[in-house]
Amino acid sequence: MILKANEIKKVYNGNTLNSPTIALDHINLEVEEGSFTAIMGPSGSGKTTLLNVLSGLSEPSSGKVIIKEQDIFQMKRDDLARFRRRHLGFIFQDYNLLDGLTVMENIMLPRILENSEVPEMREKAEHLMKLLLIEEIGGKYAHQVSGGQQQRCAIARAMMNDTSIIFADEPTGNLDSKSSKSVMNAFERANKDNKATILMVTHDPYTSSYSKRVIFIKDGRIVTEIYRKDSQKEFFNQIIDNLAALEVDNSDF
Ligand SMILES: Nc1ncnc2c1ncn2[C@@H]1O[C@H](COP(=O)(O)OP(=O)(O)OP(=O)(O)O)[C@@H](O)[C@H]1O
Ligand SMILES: [Mg+2]
């Protein structure tokens, strides 16, 4: 088990204008090495909060997160920052790349920060660009490439430091269907060919049908989860059915 979350609770304190929000409650979760998991749920259900807690960005109010046998919130601040830099990769909906750098420089950035050897880092970046079908745009600046290409570049960058887990929050949220497909193919390759462990938040059933397991959350709790057994198409239908059931529960009659 590469990641284990134990009885996670996250409460956002209120202020004079609003009362406290229980964003996560009783979350227990195990993620296997090499797995590809999607987290789905209505807006405000706690998806981003969950991803941020699991990746060490935001401390839970109670509960534990263990990654690679390490209790991450027991680590010292600097140690956690280093651990996150070395072992975890992040992809967001937007603002993934630095505009003043080329695609290839962006990909190499984590290694540059670690002072790695240049030839070794170029070789790795080239391998990843080939894997994710972006080798032809390596010399372009970030603002000169499409949103889908930027996201694939972000995936490559996330894989640069022999990353243990890639966390992605709505990675296709701003993309049209064709670019989404290219990005999801890239995730699929990262998972299959490079054995990357992926944990991805999305509200798009098509995007989540690329994963092997979907966890549905509502009001900060895990409601149900499904595993992909058959084709992607079958899984897509199963995801739609589960989302519909989640909505029905929502209507409070
Ligand atoms: N920094 C914060 N301070 C206070 N409350 C917050 C904060 N961040 C999130 N919340 C609240 O916690 C709950 C979960 O929010 P979260 O952003 O995790 O939802 P989400 O499932 O990612 O939603 P979306 O699909 O809209 O991105 C919501 O009720 C939200 O209003
Ligand atoms: Mg969110």
- Given this model, what pLDDT does residue 33 score? 96
- What number of other Cβ atoms are within 10 A of residue 178's Cβ? 10
- Asked whether residue 113 is domain-assigned, the answer is yes
State percent of the chain over pLDDT 70. 97
pTM: 0.92
Domain count, the chain: 1
- Asked whether residue 15 is domain-assigned, the answer is no
Q: What is the C-alpha separation between 117 and 43, in angstroms, rounded?
A: 43
CB 21 near ligand 1, within 6 Å: yes
| In the predicted structure, residue 1 carries a pLDDT above the cut 70 | yes
Q: pLDDT tens-digit profile of 187-246?
A: 998 899 888 999 999 999 999 999 999 999 999 999 999 999 989 999 999 999 999 998
| CATH code: domain of residue 37 | 3.40.50.300
- Asked whether residue 24 is domain-assigned, the answer is no
Q: Which long-range contacts (CB under 8 A, 24 or more apart) does 80-85 make?
A: 80/56, 83/56, 84/55, 84/56, 84/57, 85/110, 85/113, 85/114, 85/161
CB 147 within 8 A of CB 174: yes
Residue whose CA is closest, atom 11 of ligand 1?
A: 23
CB 58 near ligand 1, within 6 Å: no
In the sheet with 88-91, reading across from the earlier edge strand, the strands are 88-91, 165-169, 197-201, 36-40, 213-218, 221-227
CB 102 within 8 A of CB 140: yes
| In the predicted structure, residue 36 carries a pLDDT above the cut 60 | yes
Residue 10 CA, closest ligand 1 atom number: 12
Over the Cα atoms of the chain, what is R_g? 18
Ligand nearest to the Cα of 14, by number: 1
CB 45 near ligand 1, within 6 Å: yes
Q: pLDDT tens-digit profile of 37-63?
A: 999 999 999 999 999 999 999 999 999
Ligand nearest to the Cα of 23, by number: 1
- Asked whether residue 174 is domain-assigned, the answer is yes
| CA 124 to ligand 2 centroid distance, Å | 32
Q: pLDDT tens-digit profile of 59-69?
A: 999 999 999 99
- Asked whether residue 40 is domain-assigned, the answer is yes
Residue whose CA is closest, atom 7 of ligand 1?
A: 12
- Asked whether residue 47 is domain-assigned, the answer is yes
Range of the domain at 139: 33-59+75-250
- Asked whether residue 99 is domain-assigned, the answer is yes
- Asked whether residue 66 is domain-assigned, the answer is no
